[in-house]
Amino acid sequence: MAERFEGGGQLLATSIYGARNRRGLVEIQLGETVVTVRPAEARAHAYNILACAEAAETDEFLVGWLMGLKGTDDPRRVLLVLREFREWRDAHREEEKDGLDR
């Protein structure tokens, strides 16, 4: 499970060169937490952030649209549809991600 960051800090990323391992690396900082990862891992994190941003906007649109339809003003019904859509989206995201890994 992801941890919530409640500090108002920024997410920063910087390219660095690892003198010991002689490799290009990416340093990612969120608040006071700093991690160093290989470029491929940094790309995977970036993809995940972009995919989640896209999903959040899609969820917002879908719920708003469904709530506006006649006969679907029950939030429980809308959330059931949203859950099914998320499952479909997650399955498609995994298929897409597998295709990128090849």
Pairing between β-strand 23-30 and β-strand 33-37 as defined by DSSP bridges: antiparallel
23: which strand partners?
18
Whole-angstrom CA distances from 63 to 55, 69, 77, 89, 91 are: 12, 10, 10, 15, 20
Q: Locate all alpha helices (DSSP H) within the chain, ordered by sequence.
A: 39-68, 75-101
Which has more confidence, 101 or 75? 75
38: left (phi over 0), alpha (psi -120 to 50) or beta: beta
Contacts of residue 88, defined as CB under 8 A and 6 or more positions apart, other chains included, come to none
Residue ranges of domains in the chain: 7-37, 39-102
pLDDT value, residue 1: 39
User: In Å, how far from its chain's centre is CA 75?
Assistant: 25
Question: Are 35 and 28 within 8 A, CB to CB?
Answer: yes
20-73 pLDDT, tens digit per residue, is 989 999 999 998 899 999 999 999 999 999 989 999 999 999 998 888 877 777
Which has more confidence, 12 or 71? 12
